[in-house]
Amino acid sequence: MKRTIMISDIHGCIDQLDQILQLTEYNSTKDKLILLGDYVDRGPNSKEVVDKVIQLVMNHNAIALRGNHDQRLVDLINSDSVTVRSKFLEHGGKQTLQSYCDINNEEISDEILNQAIEFIKTHYYHHIDYISKLPFYHEDKDHIYVHAGLNPNFIDWKNQPEHDFMFIRDEFIRARFDLNKKIIFGHTKTIDIHGTSDIWFSDDKIGIDGGCAYGMQLNCLIFQEGFYITEQIKVLK
């Protein structure tokens, strides 16, 4: 049977992504790869990760979902909101700009930010357009895949606000879901859930964000014939 390989919160860590795909011997003719979002910010190679994601989806039938950091990049390019700009830089956006543009470690002034936005619009708008069209969830016979989680206040989770798919945390993690499928999610680092960067398993949900961009590890969850296998690439400090 085909394996389902799940990875989340790559955050510009292209080396770790390449390593985990090599470690698992990923073969798109035999495996289904599902990426749970947050391809950009904090890590050093956001542009390369987005390129890789597009290539994996277009050429290898991978499924890529949209994360909150991906949405922040889209909002940065497509809006003039001061709040959006502030949130983007506050949550690791500087590294994304450095990846896309020729920017050194200096502070990001309004002028530099405007120049970077125009550069990305001119040269990489296909990235922005692609990210903006990524789905918020994927579902198969065994799992529901989502970046952040499901809102327990909605009888039909598909009707929850788009924001919840990308941002919800504690309310989702504390809730109990009886959906006859496990929910696979990232967004909340597993070390914040159970004190370790390893994958977190519960009866109804599985958290896989290993905090790669924070110097911890990139997790990979493999599902095959009803069994789970975990792999991880630790970040060398």
CATH of domain 3-70+131-234: 3.60.21.10
pLDDT one-digit tens code per residue, 209-237: 999 999 999 999 999 999 999 999 998 65
Residue 102 CA to residue 119 CA, distance in Å, equals 10
Q: Which of 18-22, 100-104, 105-109, 133-137 shows the lowest per-residue confidence on average (mean pLDDT)?
A: 105-109
pLDDT at residue 217 in the model: 97
pLDDT at residue 235 in the model: 82
Cβ-contact 209, 9 below 8 angstroms: yes
| Phi, psi of 218, rounded to the nearest 5 degrees | -100, 120
- Residue 90 vs residues 27, 71, 108, 117: alpha-carbon distances, Å: 37, 14, 11, 16
Structure tokens at 5: 């390989």
- Residue spans of the domains in the chain: they are 3-70+131-234
Residue 147 CA to residue 38 CA, distance in Å, equals 8
Average pLDDT of the chain? 96
